[in-house]
């Protein structure tokens, strides 16, 4: 059985020191881990949050990084430097809360999706690879790992598939860089989810388990048996994290185009998804 986590975007944005009040409920519902979305890490008290996690017998294995227009490793020089600074801050925060991975679309701002020439793409890739090499060294120095997340075509034009992510990882050439897959994005971009998971193999750091409509995992058309078999085939030992959204968390709802209530409240999604994942992956 894999540890099952909940991403804080389902309930709060931005996550603040006061957001630790959710930990009691997460533990009560039966979650093993909390994936903190660290939008403003400089305003977060790592030791305070770590103590709160321990109080409720929870872990924060992964910290999700968020990339608005001002944070872009392939953007303007100012955007690149802002992104580097931010990712280093998230690495430091992850270390402070006892985490292991910084995850997300580390390579670009979310929503930047344009048709570019192969020449322009190669130039952007060269810039991203150079920055990721620097960031991997920074992360490795404090024993933290990075994991890049492919996003669907409507959210990025840069890394959409597992195969693209693995090629980028190979070019960076660091043992500290992994891939992070999300069943919602995979449902749009991958032909066969199980085959992509197998392709990721030992480089798979994290799987976001989401419904195909961004709702509750299990209440959708996703082939969860195929996913289970693939994870078993690669001897996956990471966590499954529910990352779904509701219209109530307005900033994230707008960014993720959540215009309607999909599966009721955040609690309904969290508890229903947890029940399904425990049964499916037992």
Angular region, 147: left φ>0, alpha ψ -120 to 50, beta rest: beta
Angle between helix axes 118-141 and 77-96 (nearest 10 degrees) is 30
The verdict on whether 134 is a catalytic residue reads: no
The verdict on whether 243 is a catalytic residue reads: yes
How far apart are the C-alpha atoms of 276 and 282, rounded to whole Å? Answer: 10
Handedness of CA 268, 276, 101, 50 (dihedral sign): positive
How far apart are the C-alpha atoms of 224 and 112, rounded to whole Å? Answer: 30
Tell me how far CA of residue 72 lies from CA of 39, 48, 85, 158, 254, in angstroms. Answer: 14, 30, 11, 12, 19
Q: Which of 39, 100, 189, 243 is catalytic?
A: 243
Tell me how far CA of residue 264 lies from CA of 82, 241, 267, in angstroms. Answer: 36, 19, 8
How long, in residues, is the chain?
Answer: 282
Q: Which of 100, 149, 189, 190 is catalytic?
A: 149
Distance of CA 48 to the CA centre of its chain: 23
Query: How is residue 226 written in tokens?
Result: 């195929």
How far apart are the C-alpha atoms of 208 and 220, rounded to whole Å? Answer: 15
Handedness of CA 7, 32, 160, 267 (dihedral sign): negative
Query: How is residue 70 written in tokens?
Result: 């001002």
Give me the active site residues, please: 149, 243
């Amino acid at each position: 059985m894999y540890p099952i986590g909940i991403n804080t975007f389902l309930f709060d944005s931005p996550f603040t020191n006061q957001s630790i009040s959710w930990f009691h409920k997460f533990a009560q519902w039966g979650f093993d881990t909390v994936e903190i979305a660290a939008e403003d890490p400089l305003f977060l008290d790592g030791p305070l949050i770590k103590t709160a996690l321990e109080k409720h017998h929870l872990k924060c294995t992964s910290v999700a990084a968020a990339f608005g227009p001002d944070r872009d490793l392939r953007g303007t020089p100012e955007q690149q430097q802002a992104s580097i600074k931010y990712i280093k801050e998230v690495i430091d925060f992850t270390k402070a809360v006892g985490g292991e991975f910084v995850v997300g679309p580390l390579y670009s701002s979310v929503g930047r999706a344009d048709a570019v020439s192969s020449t322009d793409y190669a130039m952007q890739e060269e810039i991203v690879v150079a920055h990721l090499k620097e960031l991997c060294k920074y992360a490795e120095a404090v024993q933290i790992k990075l994991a890049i997340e492919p996003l669907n075509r409507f959210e990025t034009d840069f890394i959409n598939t597992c195969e693209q992510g693995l090629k980028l990882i190979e070019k960076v050439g660091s043992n500290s860089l992994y891939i992070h897959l999300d069943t919602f994005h995979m449902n749009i971009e991958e032909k066969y989810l199980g085959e992509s998971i197998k392709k990721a193999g030992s480089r798979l750091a994290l799987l976001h388990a989401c419904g195909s409509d961004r709702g509750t995992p299990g209440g959708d058309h996703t082939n969860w048996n195929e996913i289970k078999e693939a994870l078993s085939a690669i001897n996956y030992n990471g966590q499954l994290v529910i990352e779904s959204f509701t219209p109530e968390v307005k900033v994230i709802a707008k960014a993720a185009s959540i215009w309607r209530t999909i599966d009721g409240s955040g609690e309904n999604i969290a508890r229903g998804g947890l029940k399904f994942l425990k049964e499916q992956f037992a």
